[in-house]
Amino acid sequence: MKAVVIPSLFAFLITFLTTPLVIKLAKKLQLVDDPKKRKHPAHTHQGVIPRGGGLSLYFGLTIAAFFFLPLNKLLLGILLAGALTTLIGLWDDRTDLNPYFRFLTNFIVACLAVAGGVGIPYITNPLNGIIHLDRWQIIFVLFGSHKILVWADIFALLWIVWTMNIVGWSGGVEGQMPGFVSIAAAVLGILSLRFSAHDISQQGVTTLCFITMGAFLGFLPFNFYPQKIMPGYGGKTLAGFMLATLSILSWGKVGTALLVLGVPMIDAGYTFLRRVLKGRSPVWADKGHLHHQLLEIGWSKRKIAIFYWLVSAGLGVIALTLNSQQKLFVLILLAVLIGGLIIWLEFLKTIKTPKTLLN
């Protein structure tokens, strides 16, 4: 109860109560999104909508963390990285930063977390055994002795940057992102809770998972259709950063995060390939994500958001009951199904276009 319900409820209330204040601040500082002035191919909304939701999300996460978790090097690294993510997000909300610059800042954020102690010493081989990433070590002396686990840190760095981007790419419809992020954080929290009885350090990870869940649930009422505020770049990347970090800290269960975030992950993979094969930069946005295609065939924004929530919840339940080999099989099956759905939607688009032209 102390590690789950109270911290998550506290984070929920902080985010819920500060979001109206952030909405007023965003309007005052012109941190708003106006499709008439700000052309963006991936936008799905109409009218002038405040951005900057990452600020209230960060308030909920940080204030709850200070109340319920001991401030150590690891938590400090996570909170500093989250602060940088939020500040860059507010900057982008005001000026629309270059995507390549934003991508570079993702690595800086990930480096802060890794420097704080977030690393992946091993991953479970779904075929057999364990792949150790802690064998190559570099030890140096600078105000004390320090150790760098080279492959563990590189893997963590890439995983954090990748997850920050894929979660951001799947936040284009109202309520879509905070909903599936809350579900994913809850699944990671349940996973961590299983190990907390054997490893006392997991109790803090469990609490942070449910703090993350509560913070994003507190934002959801303001972001669900019709939205009163957008999470902005800061809110989206903060979500991806927290899920990537929590999946590492939950006994390195990257496979569980891969599965529960299966739809955003696979959609991002197909998007990356589609852009590269067309000779375009993978970091420049377009209107080809799965949620865009579902909108084109007539799905409502509420229906798309709920679809993402239900699939994430279902995959989360599955992830908690399967071993690594079974998770890999389900992930491959999901990739085939989502790939088939994307191809089918593209086909519908091609047969719909000539009719539109004739009309």
> For position 209, what pLDDT does the model report?
94
Q: First vs last Cα of the chain: how many Å apart?
A: 61
> For position 81, what pLDDT does the model report?
96
- Give CA–CA dist 74/246, Å, rounded: 12
Task: Tell me the mean pLDDT in the region 201-206.
Answer: 82
Instruction: Report CA dihedral (318, 322, 325, 328) to the nearest 10 degrees.
Output: 10
With beta carbons less than 8 A apart as the criterion, state whether 179 and 309 touch.
yes
pLDDT averaged over every residue in the chain: 85
Question: At residue 138, what are phi and psi to the nearest 5 degrees?
Answer: -120, 120
192 Cβ neighbours under 8 A, 6+ residues apart: 202, 205, 206, 209, 246, 249, 250, 251
Most confident of 44-48, 124-128, 249-253, 301-305: 301-305
CA 221, 225, 227, 233 torsion-angle sign: positive
Strands (E), the chain: 32-33, 49-50, 122-124, 130-132, 137-141, 145-149
Question: At residue 122, what are phi and psi to the nearest 5 degrees?
Answer: -155, 160
> For position 357, what pLDDT does the model report?
40
Q: Which of 137, 140, 139 is nearest to 150 (CA)?
A: 137
Question: What is the DSSP secondary structure assignment for residue 227, as one 8-state letter?
Answer: P
Least confident of 28-37, 210-219, 254-263, 271-280: 28-37
> For position 87, what pLDDT does the model report?
95
Share of the chain above pLDDT 70, in %: 87
With beta carbons less than 8 A apart as the criterion, state whether 85 and 237 touch.
yes
State CA 181 to chain mean position distance.
6
> pLDDT band for position 13 (50/70/90)?
very high
Most confident of 191-195, 285-289, 326-330: 326-330
Query: Encoding tokens for residue 317?
Result: 């339940």
Q: How far is CA 323 from CA 124, 255, 264, 310, 320, in A?
A: 10, 10, 22, 22, 8
> pLDDT band for position 202 (50/70/90)?
confident
Share of the chain above pLDDT 90, in %: 42
| Predicted confidence (pLDDT) per residue in 182-191, tens digit | 999 999 998 8
- Give CA–CA dist 86/153, Å, rounded: 23
| Predicted confidence (pLDDT) per residue in 76-92, tens digit | 999 999 999 999 999 99
Q: Which of 193, 239, 232, 187 is nearest to 216 (CA)?
A: 239
Least confident of 7-11, 195-199, 287-291, 312-316: 195-199
Task: Tell me the mean pLDDT in the region 59-69.
Answer: 95
Burial class of residue 176, CB neighbours in 10 A (0-12, 13-18, 19+):
buried
| Predicted confidence (pLDDT) per residue in 216-263, tens digit | 999 999 999 889 999 989 999 999 999 999 998 886 577 788 888 888
| Predicted confidence (pLDDT) per residue in 133-147, tens digit | 777 777 765 545 567
With a cut of 60, say whether residue 17 has pLDDT above it.
yes
- Give CA–CA dist 222/315, Å, rounded: 26
Task: Tell me the mean pLDDT in the region 98-119.
Answer: 92
With a cut of 50, say whether residue 31 has pLDDT above it.
yes
> pLDDT band for position 178 (50/70/90)?
very high
